[in-house]
Structure 1
Amino acid sequence: MSRRPLIPALLAVVAVFIASLNLRPGIASLGVVITDITEHFDAGGASAGVLTALPGFCFAIFGIIAVPLARKIGLTATMTGGMAVSLVGVGLRPWVGDIWVFILLSGLLVAGIAVANVLLPAWIKLHGGKNWIALTTVYTAVLGLGGALGPLSALLFHGEGAWRWVIFIWVFAAVAQLLVWIPVWLRSGNDFPASPPGVGVDGGVATQPKVSLWKSPTAVALMIFFGMQSMNAYIQMGWLPTMLIDAGVSLNKASIAIALLGAFGLLGGLVIPTMIARFRHFRFFPILFATLTIAGYLGIILAPAQGWLLWAMLLGLGGFCFPTALALIPSRTVSAVMTARLSGFVQPVGYLFAGAGPLLVGAAYDSLGGWSVILAVLCLGAVVKGAVGYLAARERSVDRELGLVS
């Protein structure tokens, strides 16, 4: 007998919407004012590099912690606690007087986001019931919306100290998130999904063994694909405005460019989950998206100022790899517990790529003083991304590859 959902459908939609909305603005709003922040604190390029690398490393570290913690206290309780931690970070960091305290509070913000990043796909699989594809669409689409809205807050505030309000305004979304999720938590209790039973040698029910996900080719390919795309996304989020401004593009246009990436993320989030469910040969699409990414990077090398809008659009379309990777996590698993395990496997390791990428780009930029070599290397990385994306998107189930279901 199937378990009756604890969360009413409308509340589930609202909860997924507000949680997804909060996953990017606190990070994306930082990129367009990072120069103002480092100048205010009289900090060097190393501090900017730490700030751009922080999301990836925090997502990796706290993503690893998220699943074991959720086993003890539940998916919803863990996510709600993370949301409270994020609220502290986003609310306090604009008003501190030291760059390292600012970085620490940014780490708190990202740590809370990391927990939801890993657990929300499993929460959707568990509480979504037959509507899990629709909830996944809400998740991936609104994630893109948050990425688009984040940098646009830079257009609302001007003058000395405006950067504080650019990043502080997102505290209101964080408060709204907590107000929605506390009632969800009170309804849910300890809601970590139980492992589905296997079949014993005598035909009876047996406890499923915990097989390493490293033995699943699809899981490993998805982890690398997610990592390569996350690395590209955070390099773009942290450094694309600087690339364009260095080429003579205005701050307002650079803000629009970074917002376009998020807008295309919204579009991708709307269409990708349904495409994965309906297209038998979806595996070819990651190759297409990687090719568009290469075209965007080449455009920035050849004519950054003249075609900035087109290059941002191409990178945005190439960024469809991100909702693809997110949507593949529940769609390539059978059970909710495997969704949680796969998410906890893919995202933390993948975000190590995302953390290292912006840091290495910052160091390379300080050394080279330009972007052409860096962008050429990113083009090569996009080739790898397309190849592993093809492998990850094949119509296979991680559960079946590990022999956990027939």
Structure 2
Amino acid sequence: MASEETTATSPATSPASPTATPAPHPGPSTAGPSTGSAGSAEKHAPTRAWATRLVVVGIVLAALNLRPAITSLGALLEEVRDGLGMSGTLAGLLTSVPPLCFAVFGVMAPRFARRFGPSAVVCVGMAAIAAGLVIRPFIGGTAGFLAATALALMGIAVSNVLMPVIVKRWFPDRVGSMTGLYSMALALGTSLAAALTVPMTDALGGRWQTGLAVWAVLAVVAVVPWIPLVRDRSAASAAPEHVSATVRHEDAELRITRSRTAWALAVFFSLQATAAYITMGWMPQIFRDAGVPAGEAGVLLAVTMAMGVPLAFVIPRVATRLTNQGPVVLVLGLCGLSGYAGLYLAPAGGAWVWALLLGVSNCAFPLALTMVGMRAKSSAGVAKLSAFAQSTGYLISIPGPLLVGVLYQHSGGWGLPIALMAGLMVPQIIVGTLAGRNRTVEDEVAAKAAGAAGTA
């Protein structure tokens, strides 16, 4: 964190400001006209340092909590169905609840952030996740279970939207590395919940209620680092982004829907989310229907998900070093096309290769988050773009997994569903390339407004 500390203290130690030079002994007996400024400079430096470190810890812990509520339920879905007496149709609709909640609640995140601050909203989001995870296994009844799940997903939705905002505000010169760290933690949390929920359930007595509720502990821990950031207002002012009144006015007037890049990013987000949910929901069944043993099919899905852990850190760093992220979009898309082609032609023969290729392709998610941070100038612009891209994207992605199930049921095989999955990769490459161009939504909206004014 040395670079942030240096940046924060450099105005106070500048040769051009001799009165701000700290006195050797800044006690009361030596206080002179210059010590007030010096004391404030000395106080600001450690404040900036601890706040920055706390934000990093908070980002990692928050990211770890953004998927266990979903993947832990998937691991125990059969037990939950039996325990609550859910119908097969209702249990199937559970796969569409997360993107629906992300779309509905994610829209609210920028408004909450403007009123209460991003740190406060994320803190409340982590508390909502913890409360939802504790309540849902024990509330009784399907309606209560769904309501508590929605509470947890609300916390996930607002935190999803605001993570790129916090990264942009606190680390404007390290968007790639911090987005990579956040994405890697998110992928790790996803994989851990999928792999450990069943063993932990068995170790804790075999009750599915306990196996689901135990993940609330991680969410409670994630609340802790955000509390000082909410309570200490100096931490908020220590964030490195100092925006002029003119820029703040422009942010307030920013009509994000008038940006072509915003729409391209939203569609790209929707297509990568569709591919991810289809993979998580249906890939094991594809392998099992091809003759792969059930245990091996589960391991193949774990391998696909685990690919996101290292690549989620690498891809954003690579993306931020490029002025145009189109080539990265193309590589990920080609991996997806190759993986689906393999599933179509020889699903069992090259199962491990196809799992690896689809795992690489699913890393379009951290790339999309990185582009959100790069396609807007300020944290307020990132908040609007993140909310629009994620909410619109998740809304569009809802029918995907359901459509695959319908095609599978009516066609009697996986040929048509796999062809659909592969076909969706083509528009994903196209809109991703458009979203990866070196431009910002603010400039696009301003240019359109200027053009409209010129023709008026």
Q: 1:363 to 1:323 in 2, by over 3 A?
A: same
Q: Secondary structure at the match of 1:389?
A: helix
Larger Rg: 2
| 2:89 maps to 1:46 | yes
| 2:313 maps to 1:270 | yes
Partners of 2:180 and 2:366 within 8 A in 1: no
Q: Report how far residue 190 of structure 1 moved.
A: 11
Q: 1:103 to 1:300 in 2, by over 3 A?
A: farther
Tell me the equivalent position of 1:319.
362
In the alignment, the residues of structure 1 paired with residue 183 and residue 73 of structure 2 have an alpha-carbon distance, to the nearest angstrom, of 21
Alignment match of 1:180 (pick from 199, 205, 225): 225
| 2:298 maps to 1:255 | yes
Q: Report how far residue 223 of structure 1 moved.
A: 0.8
Q: Report how far residue 131 of structure 1 moved.
A: 4.1
Q: Could you say which structure has the greater relative contact order, defined with CA pairs below 8 angstroms and 6 or more residues apart?
A: 1
The alignment's TM-score, normalised by the length of structure 1, stands at 0.88
Q: Secondary structure at the match of 1:143?
A: helix
Alignment match of 1:402 (pick from 445, 451, 454): 445
Between Structure 1 and Structure 2, how many residues are aligned?
401
| 2:116 maps to 1:62 | no
- Kindly, what percent of the aligned residue pairs are identical? 34
| 2:160 maps to 1:148 | no
**Structure 2 unaligned regions, length at least 5:** 1-6, 10-43, 451-456
The amino acid that maps onto 2:441 is: V
The amino acid that maps onto 1:300 is: L
Q: Secondary structure at the match of 2:446?
A: coil
In the alignment, the residues of structure 2 paired with residue 365 and residue 92 of structure 1 have an alpha-carbon distance, to the nearest angstrom, of 35
| 2:348 maps to 1:305 | yes
| TM-superposition CA deviations, 1:162-220 (whole Å, max 9, x none) | 64454333222111111222222222589698864448xxxxx9756613222222111
Q: Report how far residue 134 of structure 1 moved.
A: 3.1
In the alignment, the residues of structure 2 paired with residue 263 and residue 248 of structure 1 have an alpha-carbon distance, to the nearest angstrom, of 23
The amino acid that maps onto 2:116 is: I
The amino acid that maps onto 2:190 is: G
Q: Secondary structure at the match of 2:86?
A: coil
In the alignment, the residues of structure 1 paired with residue 249 and residue 67 of structure 2 have an alpha-carbon distance, to the nearest angstrom, of 42
In the alignment, the residues of structure 2 paired with residue 146 and residue 17 of structure 1 have an alpha-carbon distance, to the nearest angstrom, of 10
Q: Report how far residue 80 of structure 1 moved.
A: 1.4
Q: Report how far residue 366 of structure 1 moved.
A: 4.3
Judge which range, 346-355 or 261-270, deviates more.
Answer: 261-270
| TM-superposition CA deviations, 1:86-111 (whole Å, max 9, x none) | 11111232334423322222221111
| TM-superposition CA deviations, 1:326-356 (whole Å, max 9, x none) | 1111112211111111101111000112323
Partners of 1:93 and 1:101 within 8 A in 2: yes
In the alignment, the residues of structure 1 paired with residue 355 and residue 324 of structure 2 have an alpha-carbon distance, to the nearest angstrom, of 27
Tell me the equivalent position of 1:202.
none
In the alignment, the residues of structure 1 paired with residue 166 and residue 90 of structure 2 have an alpha-carbon distance, to the nearest angstrom, of 35
Partners of 1:53 and 1:357 within 8 A in 2: no
In the alignment, the residues of structure 2 paired with residue 162 and residue 273 of structure 1 have an alpha-carbon distance, to the nearest angstrom, of 40
Partners of 1:261 and 1:312 within 8 A in 2: yes
Tell me the equivalent position of 2:401.
358
| 2:375 maps to 1:345 | no
In the alignment, the residues of structure 1 paired with residue 146 and residue 320 of structure 2 have an alpha-carbon distance, to the nearest angstrom, of 40
In the alignment, the residues of structure 2 paired with residue 191 and residue 230 of structure 1 have an alpha-carbon distance, to the nearest angstrom, of 32
| 2:338 maps to 1:291 | no
Q: Secondary structure at the match of 2:274?
A: helix
Alignment match of 1:82 (pick from 125, 134, 142): 125
Tell me the equivalent position of 1:217.
260
Partners of 1:20 and 1:143 within 8 A in 2: yes
Partners of 1:227 and 1:349 within 8 A in 2: yes
| TM-superposition CA deviations, 1:278-335 (whole Å, max 9, x none) | 1345312212211211222232233333433222111111112111101111112211
Q: Report how far residue 254 of structure 1 moved.
A: 3.2
Judge which range, 168-177 or 320-329, deviates more.
Answer: 168-177
In the alignment, the residues of structure 1 paired with residue 227 and residue 163 of structure 2 have an alpha-carbon distance, to the nearest angstrom, of 15
Q: Secondary structure at the match of 2:398?
A: helix
